[in-house]
C-alpha cells in the first residue's frame, strides 16, 4: 500500500515529502543537541570554568537551525499532502467519467461521495502530515540508538529492553484490527449512503406513507454501524493498552538500570543524565505508536475504498459510436413497487 501511495504522487511531491522528513529529523536532533549543550555548560560551571560564551553561541546557532528546519518541514509536508490529494482526485474524476452506468447502479452515490471527500481527506492528513513526522522520529531514534551503543552498550540495551515485546503486541493485533476497521468503514459508508437516499426520497416517502421498508433499512444500518464501531473500539483499547504499558516499561527499566549502574560507580552521572535527556526523543515514535497504528488502519481502509473507484473496470468509448435514427419505448402490463409490503402499481400499460 505504501508503495502504491508513493506512486500516486508526482516526483515533486515525493521530493517535498523527503525534504520534510529530513527537516523534521534536523529539528529533533537540534533539540537534543541544545539539551546536551546545556548539560555541557553545567558540567563546565561545576568544573570551575566561568566562560559560557561559547555555549551561548552554540545555543543561538542551534535555535536558528531548529526554527528554520521547522518552518521548512511544515511547509513541505503540507505541499506534499496537497500533491497527493490532487493526484488522487484527478485519478478518481477521470475514472468516474469512464465508468459504465452499471457501476453507478451498483455503487450508491452516497458511498461515492463518502470516498471522494472523507477518504481522500484521510489520505492527505495522514500521509502528508503525520507520516512525514513519524518517519523523521524513527530516523532520529535510530541515530540516537547508534550513538547510545557507542557511548555505553549496557544503557542502549536497557533503552530497548521491552520495546520488541510492545511492537509484537501491535503486530499481532494488526490483522484483526484491519478486518474490524474495514467492516466499520463499510458500515459507515452504508449508513451515509442510505441517509442520502432517505433525504432525497422524502417526497416519495410522504406519498407512500404506509411503507416502512426504508425506515427499517435505515435503522438496521445505524445498528450495524454502532455494533461494528464498538467492536473495533474494544479491540483498539485492548491492543493499545497492552502496548502502552509495555512501552512505558522500557523507560522505567532504563532509568532504574542506569541508576543502579551509577550507584555501582560504573556509569558517570552526566552520562546517565544524558541518556535520560536523549530518551525523550528516542521514545517519541514509540510512545506515539498508538496514534500511528490507528492512522495506518484509517489510511488502509480509506485506500481500499478509493481503489474500488480507481481500479473499477472502465468502458472504452467507441471511435465511431452508433447514433439511433429513431426510438420507441412501450410498457405493456408492467408492475412496480418500492418494497414487498408497499404500494404496488400493477398491470400498467403506457408508451
pLDDT at 140 (0 to 100)? 93
- For residue range 236-265, what is the model confidence (pLDDT) as tens digits? 778 878 888 888 898 899 999 988 988 888
pLDDT band at 202 (very low <50, low <70, confident <90, very high): low
188's CB contacts (< 8 A; 6+ apart) are 114, 225, 229
Q: d(Cα 156, Cα 28) in Å, to the nearest integer?
A: 19
Domain boundaries, the chain: 2-325
The winner for highest mean pLDDT among 65-79, 236-250, 278-292 is 65-79
| φ, ψ at 328 (rounded to 5°) | -155, 120
What's the rounded mean pLDDT across residues 322-345?
74
pLDDT at 123 (0 to 100)? 79
pLDDT at 25 (0 to 100)? 93
**DSSP 8-state assignment for residue 112:** H
Radius of gyration of the CA atoms of the chain, in A: 29
Q: Which residues pair with 334 in a beta bridge?
A: 348
Contact 91, 310 (CB under 8 A): yes
- For residue range 138-190, what is the model confidence (pLDDT) as tens digits? 999 999 999 999 998 899 999 988 888 888 888 877 777 777 777 777 777 77
- Reply yes or no on whether the pLDDT at 336 is more than 80: no
H or E element: which one contains 287? helix 284-287
Q: For strand 344-350 and strand 331-337, is the pairing parallel, antiparallel, or unpaired?
A: antiparallel
Q: In the Cβ-directed half-sphere of 251, how many Cα atoms lie within 13 Å?
A: 15
Q: d(Cα 258, Cα 261) in Å, to the nearest integer?
A: 5
Please measure the distance between the N-terminal and C-terminal CA atoms of the chain and give it in whole angstroms: 52
CATH assignment of 2-325? 1.20.1560.10
pTM higher than 0.75: no
What's the rounded mean pLDDT across residues 289-298?
77
What's the rounded mean pLDDT across residues 1-7?
76
Average pLDDT, the chain: 81
pLDDT at 11 (0 to 100)? 87
pLDDT band at 28 (very low <50, low <70, confident <90, very high): very high
Strands (E), the chain: 331-337, 344-350
Amino acid at each position: 500500500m505504501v508503495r502504491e501511495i508513493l506512486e500516486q504522487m508526482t516526483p515533486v511531491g515525493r521530493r517535498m515529502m523527503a525534504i520534510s522528513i529530513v527537516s523534521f529529523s534536523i529539528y529533533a536532533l537540534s533539540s537534543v543537541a541544545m539539551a546536551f549543550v546545556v548539560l555541557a555548560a553545567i558540567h563546565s560551571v561545576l568544573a570551575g570554568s566561568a566562560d559560557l560564551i561559547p555555549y551561548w553561541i552554540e545555543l543561538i546557532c542551534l535555535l536558528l537551525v531548529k526554527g528554520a528546519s521547522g518552518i521548512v518541514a511544515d511547509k513541505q509536508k503540507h505541499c506534499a499532502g496537497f500533491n497527493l490529494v490532487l493526484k488522487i482526485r484527478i485519478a478518481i474524476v477521470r475514472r468516474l467519467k469512464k465508468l459504465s452506468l452499471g457501476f453507478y447502479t451498483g455503487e450508491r452515490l452516497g458511498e461515492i461521495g463518502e470516498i471522494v471527500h472523507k477518504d481522500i481527506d484521510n489520505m492527505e492528513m495522514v500521509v502528508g502530515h503525520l507520516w512525514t513526522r513519524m518517519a523523521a522520529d524513527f530516523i532520529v531514534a535510530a541515530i540516537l540508538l547508534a550513538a547510545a551503543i557507542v557511548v555505553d552498550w549496557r544503557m542502549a540495551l536497557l533503552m530497548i529492553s521491552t520495546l520488541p515485546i510492545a511492537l509484537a503486541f501491535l503486530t499481532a493485533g494488526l490483522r484483526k484490527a484491519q478486518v474490524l476497521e474495514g467492516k466499520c468503514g463499510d458500515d459507515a459508508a452504508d449508513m451515509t449512503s442510505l441517509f442520502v437516499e432517505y433525504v432525497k426520497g422524502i417526497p416519495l416517502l410522504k406519498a407512500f406513507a404506509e411503507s416502512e421498508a426504508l425506515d427499517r433499512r435505515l435503522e438496521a444500518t445505524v445498528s450495524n454501524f454502532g455494533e461494528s464501531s464498538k467492536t473495533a473500539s474494544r479491540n483498539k483499547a485492548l491492543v493499545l493498552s497492552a502496548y502502552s504499558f509495555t512501552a512505558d516499561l522500557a523507560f522505567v527499566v532504563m532509568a532504574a538500570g542506569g541508576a543502579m549502574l551509577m550507584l555501582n560507580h560504573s556509569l558517570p552521572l552526566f552520562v546517565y543524565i544524558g541518556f535520560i535527556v536523549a530518551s525523550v526523543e528516542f521514545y517519541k515514535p514509540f510512545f506515539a505508536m498508538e496514534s500511528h497504528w490507528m492512522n495506518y488502519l484509517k489510511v488502509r481502509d480509506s485506500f481500499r475504498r478509493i481503489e474500488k473507484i480507481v481500479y473499477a473496470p472502465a468502458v472504452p468509448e467507441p471511435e465511431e459510436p452508433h447514433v439511433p435514427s429513431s426510438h420507441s419505448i412501450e410498457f405493456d402490463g408492467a408492475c412496480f413497487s418500492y418494497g414487498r409490503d408497499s404500494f404496488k402499481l400493477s398491470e400498467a400499460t403506457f408508451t
